[in-house]
Chains A and B, each alone.
Chain A
Amino acid sequence: MTATSERAPGQVHPAPWLVPAVLVLAAFYAVPVFDVARLAFSDASLVDPATEVSTAAFRAVLSNPALPGVVATTLLFVVVNVVALQILGLAIALLIARGERRELPGMAAFRTLVLAAWVVPGIANGLIWQILFDEAPYGTLNSILGGLGLGPVAWLSDPQMALVSAVIANLWQGTAFSMIVLYAARRGIDPTLYEVAALDGAGPWRTFRAITLPLLRRAIAVNTVLVSVQTLNTFDSILALTGGGPGRATEVLALFTFNTVFYNLDLAAGCVLALLLFALGMAFTLLIGWLNRGASET
Chain B
Amino acid sequence: MKLNLLAIAIAASPTVLGAQDLVTRNRVGLPDAPNTLTFRLTAYDLYSTDQDTKAAFEELFSEFIEARPDWKIETQLQTGNIGQEQARLLQQVRAGRGPDCAMIDSSQLAVFKNAGVLQPMNAVFSEEEVADLFPYVRDAITDEGGNVLAWWWFTDLRVLYRDTSVVPDAPQTWDEVQVAAEAAVEEGKEGILFNGGRWEGTAFDWLANYWAQGGTLVDENGAPVFAEGENRQKFLDAVAYYQRLVEAGAAPQRVTSITDYDAFNAAAAAGTAAMFVGGNWQYGQLRNTLPEEDFADWAVSELPGPTADQRATGTGGWSIAALSDDPEKAELCGEIVKEIYAGPGNAYQGLLPTSEAIYERYDAYDGPEFELFAEALQNGVARPGAEIYPEISNQIQILIGDVLSGSASPEEALEAAASAVQAAYERQ
Contact = CB atoms under 8 A, between A and B. Distances in A.
Contact of A157 (B84, B390, B405): B405
Nearest to A244: B198
A247 B90 contact: no
Interface string B371-389: 0000000000000000100
A249 interface: yes
B270 A246 contact: no
Nearest to B397: A245
21 contacts: A46-B88, A47-B91, A47-B387, A49-B94, A66-B416, A133-B257, A138-B270, A157-B256, A162-B257, A242-B197, A243-B259, A243-B397, A245-B398, A246-B257, A246-B407, A248-B402, A249-B401, A263-B83, A264-B424, A265-B387, A266-B424
A64 interface: yes
Contact of A65 (B88, B405, B416, B424): B416
Nearest to A63: B423
Contacts of A246: 196-198, 256-257, 401-402, 404-405, 407
Interface stretch (B20-28, B247-255, B325-333, B348-356): B247-255
Given A135-B257, A242-B257, A249 B91 contact: no
B405 A158 contact: yes
A242 B198 contact: yes
Range of interface residues on A (Cβ < 8 Å): 35 or more
B94 A48 contact: yes
Given A242-B197, A246-B404, A263 B391 contact: yes
A263 B390 contact: yes
B97 interface: no
B151 to A, nearest CB: 23
A157 B257 contact: yes
A152 B94 CA distance: 51
A113 interface: no
A138 B272 contact: yes
B124 interface: no
B419 A65 contact: yes
B179 interface: no
Interface in B256-273: 256-257, 259, 263, 266-267, 270, 272
Given A47-B111, A65-B419, A264-B390, A159 B407 contact: yes
Contacts of A265: 87, 111, 387, 390, 428
A60 interface: yes
Interface residues of B, number: 47
B272 A137 contact: yes
A138 B272 CA distance: 9
A246 B115 CA distance: 33
Which residue among B197, B390, B401 has the maximum number of chain A CB atoms within 10 Å of its CB? B401
B199 interface: yes
A66 B267 contact: no
B74 interface: no
Contacts of A261: 87
Contact of B198 (A133, A135, A243, A266): A243
Interface of B: 83-84, 87-88, 90-91, 94, 111, 115, 190, 196-199, 252-257, 259, 263, 266-267, 270, 272, 387, 390-391, 393-394, 397-399, 401-402, 404-405, 407-408, 416, 419-420, 423-424, 427-428
A135 B193 CA distance: 12
Contacts of B94: 47-49
Interface of A: 45-49, 56-57, 60, 63-66, 133-138, 154-159, 162, 242-249, 251, 259, 261-266, 269
Contacts of B196: 246
Given A60-B423, A135-B254, A136-B263, A247 B87 contact: no
Nearest to A142: B254
A47 B198 contact: no
Which residue among B115, B257, B391 has the maximum number of chain A CB atoms within 10 Å of its CB? B257
Given A47-B115, A135-B254, 5 more contacts: A66-B420, A136-B190, A137-B270, A246-B404, A247-B405
A292 B46 CA distance: 57
Contacts of A157: 253-257, 405
A262 B266 contact: no
Given A47-B115, A137-B190, A246-B402, A156 B257 contact: yes
Nearest to A158: B405
A236 to B, nearest CB: 11
Contacts of A269: 427
A298 B427 CA distance: 53
B266 to A, nearest CB: 7
Contacts of B387: 47, 265
A135 B252 contact: yes
Contacts of A155: 257
A136 B266 contact: yes
A252 to B, nearest CB: 13
B256 A245 contact: yes
A193 B254 CA distance: 54
Given A136-B263, A137-B272, A154 B199 contact: no
A57 B115 CA distance: 21
A155 B255 CA distance: 12
B10 to A, nearest CB: 40
